[in-house]
A = this chain, B = another copy of it.
Amino acid sequence: MPQKYVDVDTLKYMLYDVHNLEGLLNRERFQDHDKESLDMFLESVKEFADREMFPYFKEMDEQPAYHKDGKVFVHNQVKTMMHKGGELGLISAPFDYDDGGLQIPLMTQTAAYYILDAANNHLPGYAALTQGAAELIVHFADEKLKETYVSKMLSGIWGGTMCLTEPQAGSSLSDVITKAIPTEEGYYHISGQKIFISGGDNDFAENVVHMVLARIEGAPKGTKGISLFVVPKNRLKQDGTLEWNDVTTVADFQKLGQKGYCTTHLGFGDKEDCRGWLVGEPNKGLHYMFMMMNAARIAVGRGASAIASAAYYASLEYANERPQGRKLSSDGKKNPDEKQTLIINHPDVRRMLLQQKSIVEGTMSLTLLAANYYDRTATATSPEEKEKYHQLLEMIIPIVKTYPSEAGIQAVNAGLQTLGGYGFCEDYILQQYYRDIRIFSIYEGTTGIQSQDLLGRKVPMKNGKVLELLSGEILKTIQEASAFEELKTHAQVLGGKLQLTQKVLGHLLPHAMQGNYERYLADASVFMEFMSLILMGWMWLDLGTHATRSLQEGGDYSHEFYNSKIHTMKYFYTYELPKTTGLSEILLNTESLTIKKDTEPII
């Protein structure tokens, strides 16, 4: 196994220097925290990850979670993740003090989980989903339900899941048919099937609390008739003991990657004795679920970025140790008498490493920016401020979920290629990262769905005012960068890309205005890639500006550290951002080739 999976200096640099976490700590909610205490938290997380997670990464792939006799068996470290992780506050940290939490900012939480995901992405999901499920209860359920479930979940004694997807519906939640029939006792009888339920069962937790979307008898069709229920695997009896609640693990899914993170098919009410408790009001289930969705989407982007980080350091280590071939001399030949060079000295290998680094650190910055918007929304001191940061978060969230996932696949792919034939072998870890990361562009709404959200809902939001708001933020960075002679060109380039975005939207929006939404959204995935690169250009200009300023005015890190950020920014502007030129050409097309017509030839 390689030595390093994340650069904690870079993570802290992003938190404090780039995204000004300290500026948040004077908010009332966070007033008990300072840089020192939060850094201690991060350090304890890193120690935990080093000791309890990273060493088991390969093993968890080789010994997948499995389903047998209606039970799911998982690796022992799942227990450690939940119990010791629970003690460490890994589940409870962002909750209110009143609910047993530490009120830490989502930025810190994101940095902490970045470390966990990079160390061993098969484990953090167990804790993160429990946290998400508990959050739904805390925010929307009544006191009784809170009392029953929350503390057990935050300590990691009980697990939690989100049950959305059904076999016949897939991503189309309006087709959810799991039934909820009210009873006079106050609870509902639940019956139905849910698939792709991560962490759906395991052999260590004495209970798993499922947050289930279901339709109350007689509810309207579509998304407006969906309610949210707490459906525990085992229900609490009056005497405080647990009895089985007719939740069955029907099967599990064996997968390409993340094999240690179980994915299950659950059946509710096969014996007609499955009880569910309504959370909040009827028919608002999807609304509640979506209130949690932004944090969930930040988490997906973060996880993908973190896996790409681990893959990057693994391939960097290899490139720094592996001698092969020779550098070209000025006659274009190689001299066999010369000693072999390390492969990191070959420009093509260096290009692949810089590609990885630019994706890893750029997406790390993007997910922390999203967490920053989240924290600012949650702790806003005025309605205007709240609205502003909520809108900014809404605008970027589909990109925060998607770009790290899609570009992360490319980054890990480049990492694997760096190892040549060894990259394809199970003795080396790159092939596992290659498999693990592949799920992220499917999780929590596929890239196709996120792209429809970006172009279909977010871009037109408030008649384009929210996009303007975001552009304003980007223009601020352009202005700051322009103050440095060495960044002027990059600032100009990014300004040009904003204008190009306007041109592209000027071409696309008329389709929507004419009611041709299908055509408007047909190339949404291409627009996603286009706009993601521009947002990454923004991230890198910002990183370059901070590094340039610190080089001139001094900072906590070495010159090498700052120079490497500036060098990677240059890489991104030279090798990645120009791809937007071709993508804009695609987006400006006047065809409708992907829209089915009656005369459409077979494909």
Contact = CB atoms under 8 A, between A and B. Distances in A.
A434 interface: yes
B409 A517 contact: no
A521 B332 CA distance: 10
Contacts of A603: 316, 344, 350, 353-354, 357, 564, 567-568
A206 interface: no
A291 interface: no
A170 interface: yes
B586 A578 contact: yes
A406 B578 CA distance: 20
Copy number in this complex? 2
A71 B255 CA distance: 30
Contact of A594 (B196, B221, B331, B348): B348
Contacts of A55: none
Interface in A216-230: 221-223
A421 B170 contact: yes
A256 interface: yes
Given A221-B337, A603-B350, A330 B516 contact: yes
A595 B351 CA distance: 9
Interface in A324-351: 324-332, 334, 336-337, 340, 344-351
A601 interface: yes
A362 to B, nearest CB: 14
Chain A interface residue count: which class? Answer: 35 or more
A250 interface: no
A518 to B, nearest CB: 5
B328 A424 contact: no
A234 interface: no
Contacts of A336: 174-175, 221-223
Interface string A161-183: 00001000111101100000000
Most B C-beta atoms less than 10 A away, residue of A350, A441, A566, A601: A601
B354 A165 contact: no
A602 interface: yes
A409 B336 CA distance: 35
Given A332-B517, A567-B593, 4 more contacts: A170-B420, A575-B586, A579-B579, A582-B582
18 contacts: A170-B325, A172-B326, A175-B340, A253-B427, A254-B425, A328-B521, A329-B517, A332-B517, A346-B448, A347-B521, A348-B448, A348-B525, A351-B523, A423-B442, A561-B601, A575-B586, A578-B585, A579-B586
